[in-house]
Structure 1
Amino acid sequence: MNTDRGGDEPSVVGGDVVLLAFTRALRAAGVPVTHDRAHGFLAAAALLGVDDQRGTYLAGRATLCAGPDDLERYDQVFTAFFGRDGLPRPRPAQSEGVPGFSGLPESDGSGAGETAEEELVRARASDAEVLRHRDVATLSAAEKHRLAGMFATLRPRPPVRRTARHQRWHRGQVDAPRTLRASLRRMGEPAEIEWRRRGVRPRRVVLLVDVSGSMSGYADALLRLAHRFTQVGLERRGVVETFTVGTRLTHLTRAMRIRDPERALVAAGETVPDWSGGTRLGETLRFFLDRWGQRGMARGAVVVVFSDGWERGDPTLLGEQMARLRRVAHRVVWVNPHRGKAGYEPVQQGVLAALPHCDDFVAGHSLAAFAELSEVISRA
């Protein structure tokens, strides 16, 4: 298939006219059809043959749809455009001097190109939104690279707790001592009433990230999320502690405090010895509570466990340690990457043992799910 005009628009001959009109109808229906996808669709349809209705249908689904949300609209537009009896017959090839249909207009200096440019901008924004909802374990290397830059858009707010000390405020409780001192400075004359409230400070957050083999597709994204939580915590004087769990427990807080995320992940990779190994959640959780948690790190903290619940050890031990963790922590959140998938049922022994002792059971498979998790933690 030939291209002209600098590669911005495919030349239209024969059945290409119909196919380009179809891509324009899809764009009008809300499917983000870009120039590159239109080129890919025409090339795929040419290989399969324009007269092959099923081949053209499958070629369009494979090249024009950016995500699951586009499939239903694609089917509706395809049925409305081509009907149920088959594709329309392709028209004869046009001569070079006859202007043909173009679903991808080029700029001619009159402002018509601005519409196409606006459509491209909307398409890119839509692509980013689709990527936010994609399962991170299914992304290609290029998509993971794009997603890594999007973690900077997350702005988690650390949870807060009330302190014993009071602070001045514009409403709340009457601050009797300060009000009395102000009156004495006026020689007993009535003074303006002073108010106070209980002070607040960030609550500690503890992240336990499963890096076993079954979680290998999510480990990179989860550590980037832990890095983001740590950096925001440092900005707002909060405390975020990060551990990895697998066949052993590894303390990663020092690596997560490195400002650059790529350097932080390299440091984490050099620190963790059990990447993609087995899962002994019960044993590692007991070790965490014995050495760090019960002594103060988990006491009054929000503890977040990232795991799919595939436990190689005794699930009874995991249930006992989760009950022990629940007694000392302020709130326990279990994040399962499969929780947000259609048809998921918590049937794993580890999940069944842990759920009775969790305050929240949330999804953790996409950037959008991570944003929702941030809200859950901030409200804890």
Structure 2
Amino acid sequence: MPEGGSTPEIVERLVGFGHALRHEGLPVGSDDVVMFCSAVSELTPSDLEDVYWSGRSTLVHRRDHLPLYDEVFRRYFGGHAAPAGPGPPAFEPITPGLSGTLNVPDSEPGSGDSDDRPMVLGRQASGVEIRRDKRFAECTTAELAALRRIMAQVRLEPPRRRTRRRRSDPSGARLDIRRMARDAMRLSHAAPVLHRLTRREQPRPLVLILDVSGSMADYSRNLLQFAYSMRRAAQKVEVFCFGTRLTRITATLDRRNPDDAMKLAAARVLDWDGGTQIGDSLNTFIRRWGRKGLSRGATVVICSDGLDRGEPAALAAAMERLSRLCHRIIWMNPLVGDSTDTPPATLGMMAAGPFIDSLASGRDLASLESFAADLAQIG
């Protein structure tokens, strides 16, 4: 870190800037502030030019928020409001002993109001290149934050099931005899019209059971973000987390702000990054919720690497009971490669294998997007 200021003081200053942006109405989450501090630590905290572009790359998510961001940056780090003229202001250092100046551009390059002139600043932070096929375990903090923002936009079409109720459909396979009889009595000698019926459809319940043990540390946070997106897209989604015990977190994900939802879920799950007891956790789900109707006709998605410290016989027995209660069991395993035909050779996967209807991979963004697109068919 630079001379003239200690690390805690600089971090406190940067966090305060995030609070100032949030106070002015910008949607700045806790993850954004953490990523902002990480980005500044990789550059030069004494250079306000680096601080400006780090904050602009991590704290601003919409183009129309840029003027407000520039104004708050001037006030917070410069101690004065934005100038009336077009000239760029100079700023005082963040802490005594640190020096730096910053020219804030008036418009984005390539925007409608600009004339494609080069940017004023000599250095500019480039956007994070997103590779959808890059494993979550290999992504940097900035890449993971960008991937989570993309995950929030994933559209989910839940699987559907046919009910016993019927509706009118010209191409239906069954004749609507009652309606045809009423028409015959009302129309007398008019030629009868054939009316047909088909079965109604409604979303099939979806149950997500996420492994948050230590072996899943590189994937559990992203899978939880994906579960949050699925819960926002379809209300018939139940979410559970397990390590050595099972915890229901469905209600904690009903928050508009994903950061708040993740924070509440992390506080509720007490065995995060601990051991793994898949069989005992599934038995708890069956005993407390599955037998009471939560898994009836549902598609159950188990997200785990299959590295279990429990008894394989207990896992196999729990999977057998669960397969009799639910419609389908999908196992999402980050250790699965490009081919989902062969499950990983772990003891847990070998015990659960005979009861798995479909195997999916959740190791990167591309696999999650593919799973969301195909869920209506495989579920």
Q: Calculate the TM-score normalised by the size of structure 2.
A: 0.63
Superposed, which structure 2 residues align to 1:1-380 within 5 Å? 127-128=129-130, 131-172=131-172, 173-234=174-235, 239-340=236-337, 346-379=344-377, 380=379
Aligned to 1:17: none
Distance 1:171 1:345, change over 3 A: closer
CA positional deviation for 1:262: 1.7
- In 2, the alpha carbon distance for the partners of 1:304 and 1:245 equals 13
* 8 Å contact from structure 1 (residues 355, 361) kept in 2: no
1:221 counterpart SS class: helix
Hey, which bits of structure 1, 4+ residues long, moved more than 3 A?
A: 341-345
CA positional deviation for 1:163: 0.5
1:133-172 CA-to-partner distances (Å, cap 9, x unmatched) read: 1111221111111111111332111111111110111211
1:336-367 CA-to-partner distances (Å, cap 9, x unmatched) read: 00102699862211111011110011111111
Which structure shows the bigger proportion of residues in helix conformation?
1
Aligned residues: 254
- In 1, the alpha carbon distance for the partners of 2:152 and 2:189 equals 56
* 8 Å contact from structure 1 (residues 174, 193) kept in 2: yes
1:217 counterpart SS class: helix
1:361 counterpart SS class: strand
User: Which consecutive residues of structure 2, in runs of 5 or more, have no partner in the other structure?
Assistant: 1-109, 111-115, 118-125
- In 2, the alpha carbon distance for the partners of 1:345 and 1:187 equals 66
* 8 Å contact from structure 2 (residues 301, 330) kept in 1: yes
- In 2, the alpha carbon distance for the partners of 1:263 and 1:132 equals 26
Q: Which has the larger radius of gyration?
A: 1
CA positional deviation for 1:192: 2.7
* 8 Å contact from structure 1 (residues 333, 360) kept in 2: yes
- In 1, the alpha carbon distance for the partners of 2:148 and 2:292 equals 35
User: Which consecutive residues of structure 1, in runs of 5 or more, have no partner in the other structure?
Assistant: 1-106, 108-112, 115-122
Counterpart residue type for residue 277 of structure 1: G
- In 1, the alpha carbon distance for the partners of 2:212 and 2:228 equals 15
Counterpart residue type for residue 219 of structure 1: S
- In 2, the alpha carbon distance for the partners of 1:188 and 1:353 equals 68
Q: Percent identity?
A: 35
* 8 Å contact from structure 2 (residues 335, 344) kept in 1: no
1:326 counterpart SS class: helix
2:344 counterpart SS class: coil
1:72-111 CA-to-partner distances (Å, cap 9, x unmatched) read: xxxxxxxxxxxxxxxxxxxxxxxxxxxxxxxxxxx9xxxx
Aligned to 2:84: none
1:170-222 CA-to-partner distances (Å, cap 9, x unmatched) read: 21122111122122221342243222100011110000000000001111110
- In 1, the alpha carbon distance for the partners of 2:353 and 2:139 equals 29
1:189 counterpart SS class: coil
- In 2, the alpha carbon distance for the partners of 1:202 and 1:288 equals 22
2:300 counterpart SS class: strand
Aligned to 1:60: none
1:133 counterpart SS class: coil
Distance 1:165 1:188, change over 3 A: farther
